């Protein structure tokens, strides 16, 4: 079996060959996903190591007037009576194509360092996800750099991830042993959690060139030869349907300012225009759509967006949407 990570594209698959000096990592006893030994984290950006905001799809947004055009899985998730029904529907859809879990998270690219913003846990292996970020595994996970920005998927298994780790340069010499140990720990914990193969892709956030959404379908099946052809296509459609569902229907958690215990929200009245902009954000509208809907110029929308970010103490659109979800007029 080919053990190299593969990018799937409309043209024949492109194989990423590892270094000639690739060595098989030594077998190690698996560590518990949430209870394995803590290893030193490398020096770096505090923001990149901060935990994301975890949320579920148990707080649906009010439906849009155009919501009737939703079809397939998006319509099914929207019409499900409650959170448990949506989870059951997603589990059924995932199992139909050989997967068990779906990870969905937003990240900000800080000059090549990914800072986690928010993570949906409804369809994920929740214990694994929370342990993943508490151990800061995202700082050494090579899938983050291997997945193309173009949206093409990356098919992987534990062996191909180990090969990818060998290709990735280590950090400063003093930190290299810690980085290597953390990479081994990541794979050991994936195996201990039953995560052995999957397909990952990322989507850019319109209007925010430094923000990306990562979607990861994971399976307990060993190897990755089974993830091919129709399975790849169905996995992509499932991931994109979840992305549309989250964008349209899911209320994200309130963003909190660093160093404060209480969530941030507006304390004084907001103008009717800014209130309408917040409501439009919650419905997933982009800046151009907001301008058209409210009869404003693009400059006016940009001005109000800056004022709202300043008012709520947030830095980007994702955080503003989260703050708006908790705001009460």
> What CATH code is carried by the domain that includes residue 78?
3.30.450.80
> For the chain, how are helix, strand and coil distributed in percent, rounded to 5?
40, 15, 40
Give the count of domains, the chain.
2
Are 139 and 48 in contact by the 8 Å Cβ rule? The answer is yes
DSSP state of 250: B
State whether 242 and 172 are in the same domain.
yes
State whether 178 and 236 are in the same domain.
yes
Classify residue 258: in a domain, yes or no.
no
Classify residue 240: in a domain, yes or no.
yes
The pLDDT tens digits for 183-199 are: 999 999 999 999 999 99
Classify residue 1: in a domain, yes or no.
no
For residue 283, what are the domain limits? 272-326
State whether 195 and 81 are in the same domain.
yes
pTM confidence score: 0.66
State whether 76 and 164 are in the same domain.
yes
Q: Is the pLDDT of residue 157 over 50?
A: yes
The pLDDT tens digits for 92-129 are: 999 999 999 999 998 888 777 888 989 999 999 999 99
- Alpha helix positions (H), 50-121: 72-79, 83-96
Classify residue 264: in a domain, yes or no.
no
Please state which of the ranges 24-38, 238-252, 301-315 shows the lowest mean pLDDT: 24-38
Classify residue 192: in a domain, yes or no.
yes
């Amino acid at each position: 079996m080919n053990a190299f990570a593969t990018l799937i594209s409309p043209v024949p698959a492109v194989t990423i060959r590892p270094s000639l000096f690739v060595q098989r990592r030594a077998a190690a006893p698996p560590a518990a996903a949430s209870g394995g030994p803590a290893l030193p984290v490398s020096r770096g950006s505090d923001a990149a190591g901060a935990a994301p905001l975890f949320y579920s799809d148990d707080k649906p947004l009010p439906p849009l007037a155009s919501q009737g055009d939703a079809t397939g899985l998006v319509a099914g998730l929207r019409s499900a009576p409650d959170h448990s029904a949506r989870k059951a529907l997603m589990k059924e859809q995932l199992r139909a194509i050989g997967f068990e879990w779906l990870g969905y998270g937003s990240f900000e690219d800080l000059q090549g360092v990914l800072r986690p913003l928010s993570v949906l846990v409804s369809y994920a292996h929740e214990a694994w996800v929370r342990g993943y970020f508490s151990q800061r595994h995202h700082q050494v996970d090579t899938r983050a750099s291997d997945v193309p920005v173009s949206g093409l998927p990356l098919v992987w298994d534990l062996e191909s991830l180990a090969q990818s780790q060998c290709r990735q340069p280590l950090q400063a010499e003093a930190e290299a042993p810690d980085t290597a140990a953390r990479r081994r720990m990541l794979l050991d914990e994936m195996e201990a959690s039953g995560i052995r193969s999957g397909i990952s892709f990322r989507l850019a956030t319109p209007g925010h060139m430094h923000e990306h959404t990562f979607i990861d379908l994971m399976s307990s099946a060993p190897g990755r030869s089974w993830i091919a052809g129709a399975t790849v296509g169905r996995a992509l459609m499932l991931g994109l349907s979840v992305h549309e569902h989250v964008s349209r229907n899911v209320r994200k958690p309130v963003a909190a300012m660093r160093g404060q215990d209480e969530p941030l929200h507006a304390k004084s009245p907001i103008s009717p225009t800014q209130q309408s902009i917040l409501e439009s954000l919650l419905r997933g509208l982009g800046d151009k759509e907001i301008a058209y809907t409210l009869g404003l110029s693009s400059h006016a929308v940009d001005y109000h967006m800056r004022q709202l970010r300043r008012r709520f103490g947030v830095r980007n659109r994702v955080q503003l949407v989260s703050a708006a979800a908790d705001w009460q007029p």
